[in-house]
Chain A
Amino acid sequence: MEPAELAVSKASKLKATEAEAYVQRTKTIMVEFAEQIESFKTIESIGLGLRVGLGKRTAMYSTSILNGKEVGEAATKAVKMAKVAPEDPDWKHFNRKYGKTPVEGYYDSKLENMEYKEIVDRLLSSTALIPEYDKRVKPTRGILMLGSSRTTIVNSYNESAERKETGITVWIRAKAVDSGMESTGNEHQEARFWKEIDFENLAVSAADKAVKFLKAKPMLGGKATVIFRNQIFANLLGIFLGPSVSADWVQKGRSPLAGKLGTKIASENITVIDDGTMRGGWGTCPFDDEGCPTQRTPIIEKGVLRNYLYDIYTSLKADAKSTGNAGRAGYWLKPQPSPSNLVLKTGDAEPEEMIRETKCGIYVDTTIGEWLSNPVSGNLNATITHGYRVENGELTKTLKGIVVSGNFYELLQKGIESLGKDLKNSAENYSPTVKLVGVTMAGE
């Protein structure tokens, strides 16, 4: 018997009312590089996450050892833990009906079977472009990860589902040094298919940024018009909307969007969709981590809040239908409502045009610490490491070390002036370039 089935059957024999086993096998290739390859790793992982229910008492046990003995032990421990857990009055049951949505573009067989030589050759030929671009720059750090996984979910309602996925992430940092001045340039990309990664472009763009920011300086603070590069705004979208549209947060009284369905929470130019079916999306899958089919869920339509995101537990609690958003950050963690692909709908402006139409403002290319923002209060905080001053429609001086503040939810309502047509992702968050007005800056 496969470990997942074995775990469920053992738990049932131990008088668990219900059981659900989630088994994930992953193969990862991770290459660290700078001017040369620093290390080459292959990692094979396997793990079982077993959840059991005893009436309204539940518990979870996970293990990375999947022989018959340990799986049996996992069932014993999970049941034992559930026995001492107090009842959860809101507990109903696990997912009784699995399903699949026909989606495409989440598995690349080439990526799963990559020749090591091709990976190394491609990396080295791309990073060689960095000093070629400008002799003051060199690659100082980079990480390439190729992952493939097989996920099996089985439960005691005789449901089972399996999927194979692939993903590739690459991150490159270049550093420039010139007469006592230093600066860096970073680039990253996440995709499902090997062919989607534009290594050469990432390397050259990192080199270009590093050189341009040699003379970057802080500036005075104040209110400003700010243009966020697409990937940066995508990060903000994930940080604020990810948790606040989760039914879990709504039900726990933590979400500032609780009780606001059907009301206007953003300006009319804002439409956000959670789309688990988007072809080739970073979070695209036929079914979620509880076996529910994925779907396209409107979150904000023309500024009006339409839906929250549900997994099985939160949907049963709210008497709603799961939106297919159960996500596990690891096999050892229980599912939580999580965005699949969170997409801010594009506008019709070219990013260059958005800059051209700005008399005075700031263009934000890279930030750090944006995750320090507070999705509960809406406090937006990010520190610009790479920014430009925009003067009379042109990018002029380079800037660094400025803190961007504001209230994200207020900015959604009043601050968004225009949206670009250039959709790009930072992991599962997708956004175009966005122009905001009235953003607070703390500088020197």
Chain B
Amino acid sequence: MKEGEETVGLEKILDKAVKRGASYADVRFQSYDSELVSVENKVLEGYSSRKLSGFGIRVFLNGAVGFASSSDLSPTNVEKTLDNAVKAAKAVKNGESSLVDVKISKANVKSNVKIDPFDVSSEEKVSIALDTNKAAWINDKIKSASTRLGITRDYRWFGSSEGSRTTVQTTMVGLMHTSVAQTGGVMEWVPHSESMCAGFEFIKSKDWNSFSHSVSELALEAVSSKSPPPGTYPVVVDPEIVGVLLHEAFGHASEGDLVSSGESVLNNRTGSRLASEDVTIVDEGVVERGYYCPFDDEGVRKEKTVIVEKGVLKGFIYDRESASKLGGKATGNGRAQDFENLPIVRQTNYVMQPSTCQFEELIEDIDSGVYVRGRGSTGGEVEVGMGTFTFGVGPSKIIRKGELAETVRGVVISGSILDTLKTVDAVGKDLVVKTGVFGGCGKSGQRASVGFGGPHIRVRKMTVGGR
């Protein structure tokens, strides 16, 4: 199908929606392609490819939001889908939804791609994944190794009854490797991945054999180490964990829909000091090594939104609906997993800005603490209402008398969002930003690709669990 061809019928349906009484309507068309090569224990376990394509219609009718989606683009079905959306909106009683005004956008943009990964031969993709996997078997304590090479291309067309028309195409490639090591009765696994919004040139630019080799080394180091005694410690957190921690523990609480519903602990705290002067946090649509997100799924340009400036809460991120509720400005954060979902407030690239400290300065006056590391981390979760977060981090290091000591495994950190921010007392000068082709962040049953990152930081007090 030629670009643009599929959206002709969708343009017309916008007019029809308005004729049927919609105060506002938008249509999103999406065409998503992905390929995944999976290797398990030196054998190609799966080679799969997916195409997902369809459209969703959103209508506002007397303050009620109705939505319907389908993957059948035939004219009669497009009409039927509009019917379903209108019917859904009519089912809502006492609708109070409205959208904040935005500038009309007209743009067609693409992430940078030098070598289209969908043009690269299947043989080449399979052999890179196989070789990477084979390089992980560094000794007989490695019991299992899994490698996945993933590529995705996400094309999104957006049209609104107000006149916005945007298309965004994001191509992403990445590789994930997991090694499982065993000694005695103990087993430990270390997953790690590298992804980038780029073409196949990113895959070609890296030595993946040494990548999987180093994952196995870490698994071996972890399996023969102990867990730290549970308790509360000063910790130094590496950029990868700062990124996810910030995203989960603070980012979600700054999402306009969670603020407007009163669910977030940041509700009514704008202008108050949450952290030390060193802490500045921004959400930005296009960042080097981050996820490419120049426009959201409401056709709003995503620029730089300052959330915390020098420790003070400055604002939140919004979609058009939550901005309307809270009297804010749409920040380009209305994002949907795919055409089957409505946009909700999502972060794009949520990053803590670097400051001035060297790594050595961060650890030098810690008598007994933990250096919490991201490689091998399993992710985290937060309960924004209770203000509690928890994270499974990778193999980490004990800090003893200002120096890094032995490795510890099975480390989980936990704390209260606001208390933890207050005890960030030093921020490093380095910066790492990451995104991922595998997984993404979940909220309300939707997943979204995001970018995150920051510098090394020191937190005076954090709960560390282990066994």
Instruction: Decide if A334 touches B48 in the complex (CB within 8 Å).
Output: yes
Tell which of A44, A84, A443 touches B126, judged by Cβ atoms closer than 8 Å: A84
Instruction: Decide if A80 touches B122 in the complex (CB within 8 Å).
Output: yes
Q: Mask for A34-59, Cβ within 8 A of B = 1, else 0?
A: 10111111111111000000000011
Instruction: Decide if B67 touches A401 in the complex (CB within 8 Å).
Output: no
CA distance A377 to B223 in the complex (A): 9
Instruction: Decide if A372 touches B380 in the complex (CB within 8 Å).
Output: yes
**Nearest neighbor of B70 in chain A, beta-carbon distance:** A44
CB distance from B10 to the nearest CB of A (A): 16
Instruction: Decide if B189 touches A376 in the complex (CB within 8 Å).
Output: yes
Of the stretches B19-27, B169-177, B201-209, B458-466, the one at the interface is B458-466
Given the known interface contacts A140-B262, A383-B388, the answer about A85 and B189 at a Cβ–Cβ threshold of 8 Å is no
Q: Does A213 contact B (CB under 8 A)?
A: yes
Q: Does B2 contact A (CB under 8 A)?
A: no
Instruction: Decide if A406 touches B467 in the complex (CB within 8 Å).
Output: yes
Chain B interface size band reads 35 or more
Q: Could you tell me how many residues of chain A have their Cβ less than 8 Å away from some Cβ of chain B? A: 90
Tell which of B95, B126, B390 touches A383, judged by Cβ atoms closer than 8 Å: B390
Instruction: Decide if B467 touches A440 in the complex (CB within 8 Å).
Output: yes
Given the known interface contacts A41-B88, A45-B71, the answer about A377 and B444 at a Cβ–Cβ threshold of 8 Å is no
Contact residues of B between 401 and 445, Cβ < 8 Å to A: 409-410, 412, 414-416, 444-445
Of the stretches A62-70, A94-102, A150-158, the one at the interface is A62-70
CB distance from A426 to the nearest CB of B (A): 15
Instruction: Decide if B67 touches A256 in the complex (CB within 8 Å).
Output: no
**Nearest neighbor of B222 in chain A, beta-carbon distance:** A377
Q: Does A332 contact B (CB under 8 A)?
A: yes
Contact residues of B between 58 and 78, Cβ < 8 Å to A: 64-72
A368: chain B residues at CB < 8 Å are 381-383, 388, 390
Given the known interface contacts A42-B68, A253-B180, A379-B467, the answer about A403 and B93 at a Cβ–Cβ threshold of 8 Å is no
B45: chain A residues at CB < 8 Å are 88
Tell which of B68, B70, B412 touches A372, judged by Cβ atoms closer than 8 Å: B412
Q: Does A442 contact B (CB under 8 A)?
A: yes
**Nearest neighbor of B379 in chain A, beta-carbon distance:** A372
Instruction: Decide if A252 touches B465 in the complex (CB within 8 Å).
Output: no
Q: Mask for B43-65, Cβ within 8 A of A = 1, else 0?
A: 11111111111100000000011
CA distance A85 to B47 in the complex (A): 7
B415: chain A residues at CB < 8 Å are 401
Tell which of A37, A175, A376 touches B92, judged by Cβ atoms closer than 8 Å: A37
CA distance A400 to B389 in the complex (A): 11
Instruction: Decide if B40 touches A405 in the complex (CB within 8 Å).
Output: no
CB distance from A169 to the nearest CB of B (A): 9
Instruction: Decide if A41 touches B67 in the complex (CB within 8 Å).
Output: yes
Tell which of A36, A81, A404 touches B47, judged by Cβ atoms closer than 8 Å: A81
Instruction: Decide if A374 touches B410 in the complex (CB within 8 Å).
Output: yes
Residue from the set A40, A70, A404, A406 with the largest chain B CB neighbour count within 10 Å: A40
Instruction: Decide if B390 touches A81 in the complex (CB within 8 Å).
Output: no
**Nearest neighbor of A408 in chain B, beta-carbon distance:** B467
Chain A residues proximal to chain B, CB less than 8 Å: 30, 32, 34, 36-47, 58-66, 70, 77-78, 80-82, 84-86, 88-90, 116-117, 119-120, 124, 138, 140-141, 143, 145, 173, 175, 177, 182-184, 213, 216, 218, 221, 252-254, 256, 332-334, 368-369, 371-374, 376-377, 379-383, 385-386, 400-401, 403-407, 440-444
Chain B residues proximal to chain A, CB less than 8 Å: 40-41, 43-54, 64-72, 81, 84-85, 87-97, 121-123, 126, 130, 143-144, 146, 180, 186-189, 227, 230-232, 258, 261-263, 265, 340-342, 378-383, 385-392, 409-410, 412, 414-416, 444-445, 463-467
- Minimum-distance CB pairs A-B, first 6: A184-B385, A403-B465, A442-B230, A116-B91, A372-B392, A369-B390
| Between-chain CB contacts (< 8 Å), 12 pairs | A42-B84, A44-B70, A45-B69, A47-B52, A60-B49, A84-B47, A88-B44, A253-B143, A254-B180, A368-B390, A372-B378, A401-B414
